[in-house]
Amino acid sequence: MGQLLHKCARTTEKTRREIQLSKESIATLARQYGVNRKTVAKWKNRASCQDSPMGPKVRRYKVLTQQEEEVVIAFRKLTQLPLDGCLYNLQETIPHLSRSTLHRCFQRHGCTKPEKSAD
Residues 52-101 have pLDDT tens digits of 777 777 766 678 888 999 999 999 999 999 999 999 999 999 999 999 99
The set of residues, in sequence order, having a beta carbon less than 8 Å from that of 99 and lying 6+ positions away, is 83, 84, 87
| 114 pLDDT higher than 90 | no
- Cα Rg of the chain, angstroms: 24
| Residue 7 CA, distance from chain mean position | 20
Say what the pTM is. Answer: 0.49
d(CA 110, CA 58): 18
d(CA 99, CA 84): 7
